[in-house]
Amino acid sequence: EAGVAQSPRYKIIEKRQSVAFWCNPISGHATLYWYQQILGQGPKLLIQFQNNGVVDDSQLPKDRFSAERLKGVDSTLKIQPAKLEDSAVYLCASSLVPAGTEAFFGQGTRLTVV
């Protein structure tokens, strides 16, 4: 079974530039999560999708972050414009719909904003 795929693995941009991350979840997984993990901290949920609908985006900085999940499969997370404090690892995860199932994570994208 293929795992959660993320790209790119690393990205360095200047502040005020824009950046996009891509995630392909495990086939059949209706729930998709995007997390932000700042160095030394636990992952913080940015947005949760079920199929192509948003379940929770309460911690997404909507003035600069946006996310979409086309056709309930792949997802992209965009930051525009980036700030220095956006430097972090962005993790994508997926799981089946029932709340009792296991979540699987991708390798993450390490973003450095200079």
Partner 1 sequence: KQEVTQIPAALSVPEGENLVLNCSFTDSAIYNLQWFRQDPGKGLTSLLLIQSSQREQTSGRLNASLDKSSGRSTLYIAASQPGDSATYLCAVRGATNKLIFGTGTLLAVQP
Footprint of partner 1 on this chain (CB under 8 A)? 6, 31, 33, 35, 41-45, 48, 50, 55-56, 91, 93, 95, 97, 99-100, 102-108, 110
| Contacts of 65 by beta carbon, 8 Å cutoff, 6+ apart | 46, 77, 78, 79
Q: Considering the complex, what minimum distance in angstroms separates the CB of residue 24 from partner 1?
A: 14
Q: Considering the complex, what minimum distance in angstroms separates the CB of residue 19 from partner 1?
A: 19
Give Cα 47 to chain centroid, integer Å.
7
| CB-nearer residue toward partner 1: 22 or 105 | 105
CA dist 34 and 75 (Å) reads 9
